[in-house]
């Protein structure tokens, strides 16, 4: 009887493997109907630095947000500077460690973060050029944070187990770990013949209008036209800095802004069969939901059931409508963005932005309808 059961299980397993199609392959016929851009050249992208592969890190939030800020420098007439992604990573870990101790281990300590992690680093610690601090001490010149993240996780687990809630001691040890993996961030550095500190570099070189950047979201779990907490694990500080608007305004304002030449960093789910690296395309397969049915409840359902998560942050550069289909050119740092021909870019279909984008950051002048609502809220 035992052997018959084993044989039956093998037959069932083999039958399942034959019958279940690859979901990405099953999505391809629909992609062919969407008039995918032939190349990135069809978009009129603003000046920006080439994509960098984040490789084995969880630092997409830093890559995307700093890419956005670099492009903003060019947009407002400043000479753009490639900024240090790992400087933001370094001090994000420092602040997470500080809060972890303050909350006696209740606050989340993990590599992920959001736009706010970068903005708060700039405000408190300043910023430095990538050429001054790459945070990369590997001979092969690629990023790999696996051992760094493991060592930090072990240390924080030990702190919680032993109840060692000494903030000064913990932060000092975390910095020691970061220094060994990323290098020590400089307190002063030379840039184009002048000496700066990280804070003076922001004041004299980066010089962006920091108070003019808005983070926008669209969810029914909280009232519209108010600032809310984006309820995702990477919002580890529980910041209530995301202005919540209905989906039509969320998407319509973004589309108009990008058409006018603005860019936006955005937080999106990427673990979907409609994200196909070899095709350079990200879209919503019809077997998930036809585009005409993508609305606020559909978006909310996927967020509540966990099929939409804050996987990844990227940078929207440009918009193009092709035969009635909305497409966004997206600069991406995740390794799959190099598997197709676009090399560091994806073409995001508008339906995907509507359904799977959790939030974006943009200059307030780009979204006058939302800015007006914020003025009324205040």
pLDDT at 244 over 60: yes
Q: What is the mean pLDDT of residues 310-339?
A: 96
Least confident of 130-139, 187-196, 284-293, 317-326: 130-139
C-beta of residue 152 within 8 angstroms of C-beta of residue 58: no
C-beta of residue 57 within 8 angstroms of C-beta of residue 143: yes
* Alpha-carbon span 133 to 91, nearest angstrom: 13
pLDDT at 34 over 90: yes
- One CATH from 3.90.70.10, 3.40.50.720, 3.40.50.10320, 3.20.20.70 for 24-377: 3.90.70.10
* Alpha-carbon span 332 to 359, nearest angstrom: 16
Q: According to the per-residue pLDDT averaged within each range, which of 139-153, 344-358, 364-378 is highest? A: 344-358
pLDDT at 4 over 60: no
15 alpha-carbon distance from chain centroid: 39
Beta sheet of 357-363, edge-to-edge order: 226-228, 242-244, 213-217, 357-363, 264-268, 312-322, 325-331, 345-349, 281-282, 275-276
What tokens appear for 133 in the block? 């601090």
Rounded to the nearest 5 percent, the helix, strand and coil shares of the chain are 45, 15, 40
pLDDT at 95 over 50: yes
If one compares 7 and 221, the residue with the highest pLDDT of the two is 221
| Band of pLDDT at residue 376, cut at 50, 70 and 90 | confident
182 alpha-carbon distance from chain centroid: 21
Among residues 95, 152, 154, the alpha carbon closest in space to that of 123 is found at 95
Half-sphere exposure of 203 (CA within 13 A, CB side): 8
| Band of pLDDT at residue 282, cut at 50, 70 and 90 | very high
114: left (phi over 0), alpha (psi -120 to 50) or beta: beta
* Alpha-carbon span 213 to 159, nearest angstrom: 36
C-beta of residue 236 within 8 angstroms of C-beta of residue 99: yes
| Band of pLDDT at residue 328, cut at 50, 70 and 90 | very high
If one compares 1 and 134, the residue with the highest pLDDT of the two is 134
pLDDT at 3: 37
CB atoms within 10 A of CB 167: 13
**What is the rounded average pLDDT for all residues in the chain?**
93
Taking CA 357 as the corner, what is the angle to CA 353 and CA 360, rounded to the nearest 5 degrees? 105
Sign of the alpha-carbon torsion through 241, 245, 249, 250 = positive
pLDDT at 18: 40
Looking at the chain, the whole-number percentage of residues with pLDDT higher than 70 is 93
Among residues 140, 128, 130, the alpha carbon closest in space to that of 56 is found at 140
Angle between helices 85-102 and 115-125 (to 10 degrees): 90
Return the H-helix or E-strand segment holding 59: none
What tokens appear for 237 in the block? 């500080």
Q: What is the mean pLDDT of residues 313-320?
A: 98
The full set of domain ranges for the chain reads 24-377
Tell me the per-residue pLDDT of 132-189, one tens digit each, with 9 for 90 and over: 999 976 666 678 999 999 999 999 999 999 999 999 999 999 999 999 999 999 999 9
pLDDT at 354: 98
* Alpha-carbon span 35 to 75, nearest angstrom: 30
What tokens appear for 178 in the block? 């970061």
pLDDT at 14 over 60: no
pLDDT at 378: 65
pTM exceeding the 0.85 threshold for the entire prediction? yes
pLDDT at 137: 61
pLDDT at 136: 79
Tell me the per-residue pLDDT of 260-275, one tens digit each, with 9 for 90 and over: 999 999 999 988 999 9
pLDDT at 338: 93
165 alpha-carbon distance from chain centroid: 31
Q: What is the mean pLDDT of residues 195-202?
A: 98
Least confident of 132-136, 234-238, 260-264, 349-353: 132-136
pLDDT at 295 over 80: yes
What tokens appear for 286 in the block? 């019809």
* Alpha-carbon span 273 to 285, nearest angstrom: 8
pLDDT at 10: 40
| Band of pLDDT at residue 11, cut at 50, 70 and 90 | very low
Taking CA 245 as the corner, what is the angle to CA 241 and CA 251, rounded to the nearest 5 degrees? 110
pLDDT at 2 over 80: no
pLDDT at 17 over 50: no
Q: Which long-range contacts (C-beta less than 8 Å, at least 24 apart) are formed by 224-229? A: 225/373, 225/376, 225/377, 226/377, 227/377
Least confident of 7-21, 85-99, 271-285: 7-21
């Amino acid at each position: 009887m035992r052997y018959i059961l084993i044989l039956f299980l093998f037959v069932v397993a083999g039958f399942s493997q034959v019958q279940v199609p690859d979901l990405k392959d099953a999505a391809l016929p629909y992609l062919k109907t969407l008039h995918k851009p032939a190349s990135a050249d069809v978009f009129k992208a603003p000046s920006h630095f080439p994509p960098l592969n984040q490789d084995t890190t969880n630092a997409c939030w830093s890559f995307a947000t700093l890419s956005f800020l670099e492009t903003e420098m060019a947009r407002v007439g400043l000479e753009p500077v490639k900024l240090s992604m790992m400087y933001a990573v370094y001090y994000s870990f420092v602040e997470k460690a500080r809060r972890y101790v303050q909350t006696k281990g209740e606050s989340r300590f993990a590599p992920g973060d959001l736009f706010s992690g970068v903005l708060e680093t700039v405000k408190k610690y300043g910023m430095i050029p990538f050429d001054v601090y790459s945070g990369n001490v590997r001979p092969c010149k690629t990023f790999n944070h696996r051992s760094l993240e493991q060592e930090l996780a072990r240390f924080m687990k030990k702190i919680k187990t032993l109840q060692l809630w000494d903030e000064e001691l913990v932060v000092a040890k975390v910095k020691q770990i970061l220094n060994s993996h990323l290098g020590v961030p400089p307190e002063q550095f030379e840039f184009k013949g002048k000496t700066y500190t990280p804070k003076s570099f922001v004041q004299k070189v980066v010089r962006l209008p920091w108070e003019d950047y808005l983070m926008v979201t669209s969810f029914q779990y909280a009232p519209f036209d108010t600032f809310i907490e984006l309820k995702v694990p990477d919002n580890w500080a529980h910041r209530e800095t995301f202005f919540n608007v209905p989906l039509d305004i969320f998407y319509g304002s973004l589309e108009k802004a990008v058409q006018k030449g603005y860019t936006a960093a955005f937080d999106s789910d990427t673990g979907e069969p409609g994200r196909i690296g070899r095709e350079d395309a990200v879209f919503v397969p019809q077997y998930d939901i036809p585009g005409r049915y993508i609305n606020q409840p559909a978006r909310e359902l996927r967020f509540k059931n966990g099929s939409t998560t804050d996987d990844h942050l990227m940078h929207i550069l440009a918009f193009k409508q092709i035969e009635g289909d909305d497409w966004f050119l997206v600069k991406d740092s995740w390794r799959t963005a190099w598997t197709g021909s676009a090399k560091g870019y994806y073409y995001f279909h508008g339906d995907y932005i509507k359904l799977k984008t959790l939030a974006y950051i943009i200059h307030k002048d780009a979204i006058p309808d939302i800015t007006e609502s914020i003025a009324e809220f205040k």
